[in-house]
Amino acid sequence: MFSKGEKVNHLQHGIGTVRAVDEETLIIRFDHGIEECLTEDVDLIKAVEQSINSLHFYSPIDVVLRSQAAAIQSVNDNWGVFSKSLIKLLPHQLWVCHRALRQWPTHYLVADDVGLGKTIEAGLILWPLLSKGLVKRLLILAPAGLVEQWQYRLREMFDIRLTIYTPELDKPKSDYWNTHPYVIASLPTLRKNLNGRHDRMLHAQDWDLLIVDEAHHLNASEDQGGTLGYRFVQRLIEHQKFKSKIFFTGTPHRGKDYGFFALMKLVRPDLFDPDKPVKPQLALLKDALIRNNKQNVTDMQGRKLFKPVTVYQETYQYSEAESAFYELLTAFILSGQAYASKLNSSNAQQAVILVLTSLQKLASSSVSAIKRAIQNRLNNIITIKDNLKFLEQQKEKLDRLVAMMDDEIDASLTDEMQALEERIVEHSAKLLLMEDEKPRLEALLATAHNITSETKFVRLLTVLDERYEDRNVLFFTEYKATQSLLMGMLQQKYGDGCVTFINGDNFASGVKNQRGESHDLRLPRELAVEKFNLGQVRFIVSTEAGGEGIDLQDNCYSMVHVDLPWNPMRMHQRVGRLNRYGQQYPVEVITIRNPETVESRIWDLLNTKLNSITDALSEVMDEPEDLLQLVLGMTDGKLFTQLFSKGLSQSKESLKGWFDTETKKFGGADVIQTVKNLVGNSQQFDYQSLDSIPKRDLNDLLPFFENILTYNKKRIVKTGHGIAFNTPDPWKTDMGIKPKYDGLVFDRDHKQVQSAEKVIGVGHRVFDLALKQALSLIASLCLLPQLEKPLVIFSIFDRITGIESNIGKTLAGVCWGGNSDSSEILFDWQVLDILNQQHSLQKLESSHFENNVTSEILADCLKNSSRLLKQNLEQFKLPYKMPEIDVLAVCWPKKIVAERQVFMQAVN
């Protein structure tokens, strides 16, 4: 007969506790939940108390293995520190993982600063969930340019394999969404409901977890409602297609409370609603919003990782020919603006202004960039009759570009906008910019041809020798024509093969070599990044396509802004390619500009304004530099475009007054208060509590793995490339398990390991099978000669059933010293430390010990240890509504057996 509270073992479900007894069945609580099982299908397990009463000691290796496995699972469920990966663990990343894993389902918006490792945080969160089977279906949505980067990083760093969504494979008969469990997709692609795609997703099996990168693109406004991407995700959420959700963004608030709380509603529909008052919802942010600041980030020893960025401003003067061109272009643009103001159609006005703005931006990059665009535009005007149909098509593209300005996909982060700007200048010939446009374009072109050398680039090469001699350098420019020009100049001075490039289509045209010959180059961005990071080339020139999703800090800390983008946020994103974890030196940045241009004068005013915002932030909170990025993220990019384009018509004397009027609300009191509310009500890692994070890593798993192989009569062979072993027979029942493994390492930093596939930890199939086998053992009492004090190990769980949780059980321990004052409460990682110190367990059997300990002493130790733990449960900060304690094992030290009289006196 079975009784309530007894431990039983079920072949399929494992070890559980009897909750109720029926005639032929038992209601049993297992780790995964409640099951009703036939009585004949379960075996009774001798409880610890029964083993104590009968003095039944198990083999030490059985008890230690079971306890080690439980400790490893407990630590990893809480912190993810034992998950297999190739990355060094950082406190803020582990803390984000800890917060996300505390409850399941989980719903968070993670708004860490740029460069703090959102992909790493995602991987750390994923492995414990994947390993335990809580996540069997995963969907990740990212900007189009970052999809391959996510796939690559999760594969190489974590050995997590994702399928990139391919629209061609998603057909009505293919059942795509049910046959691909782990998918990463482009949000711009997936948001479009082509060929019934959304209905197929709605009827597919639900996903366990949705991850959204750059979640601020899911935007909604009070007057226009949600964007296409927002409505797509909202529809899936309203149909309860996702059990859990984790969103990532560095700019959660885009300046409008409505848009921010609309985003938060996607994360937690039960807490947030953009149509409800803001103030009551602010206090709820701590339940769903995480933000860590770059200035506070440390390593595991508490040393700050990021150093201040130094920016040097370098100037140059136009040559006489360049000045003539600049003045003529300025007059051309101003005439075009005046012409546009007289047009009757607002759409026509907007289109003309867009073309003129594109001309101005091209000119601020390089004469080469604008000269090519003007030449092509002039050619189209001359042949307009022959190209009428083509130009009509281009006009339609221009209209779509105007509409794109309000789209949720921030094209400024890729080459898409810059490429379109060049094309509309060239192909909108039917759209007149002014009545006498053709002769004025011809005059511009003739003046441009007088420029034989651009002083900006001559000065830039001089600066390289003055400040960045013998350094690897990252250059950023907005346009491909400027990119090709600079690459050619670098090769002509420093030799062929000194430079590589990144742009949106992996193609650079007309790049001159050292002999002055022009060549077209093709190179995937991944290969360009690899060549630069390995030091195979000294320079890399990137357009905005490299502003996100690439890491270049391994071999470089020097950057040059060849041209200045019209949005300061893009400056921060560029610098984020170097100023990120792993950077060994303070990052140095050079900006190069002509102080006589309107663009330069506006940048001076803008920098002064940004400094005043930083000062205002510093008065109310710490880390003003990091928080400035939040302010910039709240600012509509159109403000900066208007400053540069409309500022062209202002005189030197009137510019400052006009600028102050235009930027009156930029970084004002309302914005400062919003930042204060956002940061003050979000969760963030307290670096004063660094000691709460277990400073343990994969090498702490090796003692357990050696024990489990010994238990299975196998052994580890250590080689120069890692470890090798023959797979135990009990593990071979799992599909895909190899008969032998070689070259595996319990080391994230092993020099021979190039991929996470060779790293062994939680998530590796072999290691997970080892854990599973050890957790199925039933041993609970043993004698250990290397203990200093009795060790009582407990499992804490939530008495309330029906609640899914990633942290099903938390391990704790008590080192009992005879009374409360001489005893110590242990966290799971501390229990593991003690168990890892026990050696030669296979050789130790209970018969080897002088067995003169009494059941009374053991029972007294267990009772007092249990009482002590209950009195101190609050220090574990458990995520349980009604925590219950269950004893897992009692390990008794041999030396106390030998000194029985002394210990009995201490107990009494």
Structurally, at CATH architecture level, domain 1-45 sits in Roll (2.30)
**With bands split at pLDDT 50, 70 and 90, how would you rate the model's confidence at 412?**
very low
Q: How far apart are CA 862 and CA 647, in angstroms?
A: 79
Q: How far apart are CA 290 and CA 108, in angstroms?
A: 7
Q: Does residue 128 have a cis peptide bond before it, meaning omega lies within 30 degrees of 0?
A: no
Burial 736-764 (b: 16+ CB within 10 A, else e): eeeeebeebbbbbebeebeebbbbbbbbb
Instruction: Taking residues 371-399, report their average pLDDT.
Output: 66
**With bands split at pLDDT 50, 70 and 90, how would you rate the model's confidence at 901?**
very low
Look-up: residue for tokens 């100023």? 579
- Among 17-21, 197-201, 205-209, 678-682, which stretch is predicted with the lowest mean pLDDT? 678-682
Which residue in 633, 879, 673 sits closest to 111, CA to CA?
633
Instruction: Taking residues 185-195, report their average pLDDT.
Output: 92
Which residue in 226, 50, 58 sits closest to 711, CA to CA?
58
Q: Domain residues of the chain, as ranges?
A: 1-45, 48-83+697-908, 90-296, 320-449, 453-663+671-677
- Bridging pattern class, strands 473-476 and 558-561: parallel
Residues sharing a CB contact under 8 Å with residue 704, sequence separation 6 or more, in sequence order: 65, 68, 69, 72, 770, 774, 836
| pLDDT tens per residue across span 236-270 | 999 999 999 999 998 888 778 898 999 999 999 99
Q: How far apart are CA 643 and CA 566, in angstroms?
A: 9
Q: How far apart are CA 118 and CA 141, in angstroms?
A: 13
Specify the CATH number of the domain 453-663+671-677.
3.40.50.300
Q: Which two tokens stand for residue 671?
A: 């914005």
* Count of beta carbons in the 10 Å neighbourhood of residue 172: 11
* Count of beta carbons in the 10 Å neighbourhood of residue 344: 6
Instruction: Taking residues 842-869, report their average pLDDT.
Output: 78
Better-predicted residue by pLDDT, 592 or 353:
592
Q: How far apart are CA 681 and CA 659, in angstroms?
A: 33
3-class SS of residue 761:
coil
- Bridging pattern class, strands 588-593 and 242-248: unpaired
Partner residues linked to 507 by β-bridges: 522
3-class SS of residue 333:
helix
Q: Which two tokens stand for residue 794?
A: 């407990």
Judge whether 171 and 100 are in contact, CB under 8 Å.
no
Start-to-end Cα distance in the chain: 37
* Residue 675 phi, psi (nearest 5): -60, -45
Residues sharing a CB contact under 8 Å with residue 644, sequence separation 6 or more, in sequence order: 360, 361, 566, 598, 599, 602
Judge whether 684 and 290 are in contact, CB under 8 Å.
yes
Which residue in 518, 384, 508, 485 sits closest to 441, CA to CA?
384
Give the model's pLDDT for residue 425.
65
- Among 40-44, 394-398, 518-522, 839-843, which stretch is predicted with the lowest mean pLDDT? 394-398
Asked if pLDDT for residue 392 goes beyond 80, the answer is no
Asked if pLDDT for residue 203 goes beyond 90, the answer is yes
Judge whether 603 and 659 are in contact, CB under 8 Å.
no
Q: Which two tokens stand for residue 687?
A: 């670096």
> How many angstroms separate the Cα of 387 from the Cα of each of 394, 438, 600?
10, 16, 39
* Helix residue ranges per DSSP H, 80-168: 91-101, 118-132, 147-158
Look-up: residue for tokens 């959700």? 245
Partner residues linked to 185 by β-bridges: 141
Most confident of the following: 35-44, 383-392, 848-857: 35-44
Give the model's pLDDT for residue 390.
58
**With bands split at pLDDT 50, 70 and 90, how would you rate the model's confidence at 408?**
very low
| pLDDT tens per residue across span 606-653 | 888 888 887 777 765 566 656 677 777 778 778 888 888 888 888 889
Q: How far apart are CA 739 and CA 719, in angstroms?
A: 18
Q: Which two tokens stand for residue 24?
A: 């032929």
Q: How far apart are CA 462 and CA 459, in angstroms?
A: 5
Phi-psi region of 132 (alpha: psi -120 to 50; beta: other; left: phi over 0): alpha
* Residue 496 phi, psi (nearest 5): -65, 145
**Single-letter amino acid code for the residue at 175:** D
| Average pLDDT along the chain | 86
Instruction: Taking residues 2-30, report their average pLDDT.
Output: 86
Pick one of 3.40.228.10, 1.10.10.10, 3.40.50.10810, 3.40.50.980 as the CATH number of 90-296.
3.40.50.10810
Asked if pLDDT for residue 385 goes beyond 50, the answer is no
Look-up: residue for tokens 């500009």? 593
Could you tell me how far CA 615 lies from the centroid of its own chain?
29
Asked if pLDDT for residue 39 goes beyond 70, the answer is yes
Look-up: residue for tokens 């948001």? 191
Judge whether 160 and 84 are in contact, CB under 8 Å.
no
Judge whether 211 and 227 are in contact, CB under 8 Å.
no
Judge whether 532 and 553 are in contact, CB under 8 Å.
no
3-class SS of residue 476:
strand
Judge whether 65 and 777 are in contact, CB under 8 Å.
yes
| pLDDT tens per residue across span 163-175 | 999 999 999 889 9
Give the model's pLDDT for residue 12.
83
Asked if pLDDT for residue 394 goes beyond 80, the answer is no
* Helix residue ranges per DSSP H, 144-277: 147-158, 176-179, 187-190, 197-203, 228-238, 257-267
Q: Which two tokens stand for residue 769?
A: 């099978």
Instruction: Taking residues 727-754, report their average pLDDT.
Output: 85
